[in-house]
Amino acid sequence: MSLKDQITEDMKTAMRAKDSERLGTIRLLLAACKQKEVDERVVLDDAAVVAIVDKLIKQRKDSIEAFTKADRKDLADKESAELAVLQAYLPARLSADEVAAEVKAIVTELGAKGPGDMGKVMGAVKARLAGKADMGQVSAAVKAALAT
């Protein structure tokens, strides 16, 4: 079963359980997937769905930070609940050590030296680790690898 089919089944389950918060978040995710399909006239595979989930998670994290700074605990809690639902659709993430090892291997493969090669390394890392690791964490690992 594809990830998109799993999300659709979860939406049906949430409807039956009358879980309105979960249902709203899942509908938001399916709407984002549908929008991408319509805009680009493609059928999304699991990797594309994971990319959309990643994007929505990043938006939620930014919103939580902003709402917390503005002392809006009610809105931050709502975003946190949505974040928890969305994270269930991500594949298992690599640990910080695994990310550092992958980055080091890619830097060695490319023969990259210094911060000037950051773009070249990030392109290769993004292709290999997309959906498997948090790109903020990956970026920090690339900077650390190129600094040494």
Q: 81 and 36, same structural domain?
A: yes
- Three-state secondary structure of 18-68: CCHHHHHHHHHHHHHHHHHHHHHCCCCCHHHHHHHHHHHHHHHHHHHHHHH
Q: 72 and 29, same structural domain?
A: yes
Q: What pLDDT was estimated at residue 65?
A: 96
Average pLDDT, rounded, for the chain: 89
Domain with 55, as residue range(s), is: 3-87
Task: Enter the tokens of residue 90.
Answer: 């991500």
Strand, helix or coil at 134? coil
DSSP classification of residue 148: -
Q: Check pLDDT > 90 for residue 67.
A: yes
Contact 67, 112 (CB under 8 A): no
Q: 83 and 108, same structural domain?
A: no
Q: 25 and 8, same structural domain?
A: yes
Q: Check pLDDT > 80 for residue 85.
A: yes
Closest CA to 137 of 97, 109, 83, 110: 97
Q: CATH code at 119?
A: 1.10.10.410
Q: What pLDDT was estimated at residue 124?
A: 85
Residue with tokens 């999300």: 7
Helix axes 96-110, 135-147, angle to 10 degrees: 50
Mean pLDDT of 118-144: 82
Contact 32, 56 (CB under 8 A): yes
Mean pLDDT of 22-32: 96
Number of domains the chain contains: 2
Tens of pLDDT along 88-125? 998 888 888 888 888 888 888 888 777 777 888 888 88
- The whole-angstrom separation of Cα 117 and Cα 111 is 9
pTM: 0.78
Phi, psi values for residue 2, rounded to 5°: -75, 165
Tens of pLDDT along 32-55? 999 999 999 999 998 889 889 989
Q: 72 and 106, same structural domain?
A: no
